Amino acid sequence: MQRVINEVEEKLRAGDSKLTPRREHILRVLLENKDKHLSAEEIYNLVKQKAPDVGLATVYRTLELFLDFDIIHSIDFGDGRKRYEFGGERGEGHHHHHLVCTSCGKIIEVNEDLLEDLEKQVTEAYNFTITDHELKFFGYCKECAVKED
């Protein structure tokens, strides 16, 4: 984790920003919950447990800063709240997709890039350079599907 924190610190410093202690608390929460898609309020509640002096406004400003520096991604799953996930540069490397349960709200990551062939077709057919994509499937998770039957 410390290696990633140092990398983020260098990235911010290169862009004339700093990794303040409050920002580091927020970053640590994101890193400790890499497998989750947390809202700003959820991040705030987790940060408050370790750093009670961090306010909600600080969390929002820090998330915007991290978005600007491509340290995190924001995703809207159709519930009216932005969710955040830690990740590398947008448009580079491996893409992943999400399955969203419309009953319980569970979010499951699909770690295969399902759109690679489609991207190539679109690029060739429309002479369009794709830099990123996002795919969300909505339905019922295994547990909720059993309840629906």
Positions at the binding site: 95, 101, 104, 116, 133, 141, 144
Q: Which residues are annotated as a binding site for Fe cation?
A: 95, 116, 133
Q: Which residues are annotated as a binding site for Zn(2+)?
A: 101, 104, 141, 144
- DSSP class of residue 38? B
**Termini Cα distance of the chain:** 43
- DSSP class of residue 79? S
Measure the CA–CA gap between 6 and 9, rounded to whole angstroms.
5
Enumerate residues 6+ apart whose C-beta is below 8 A from 147.
103
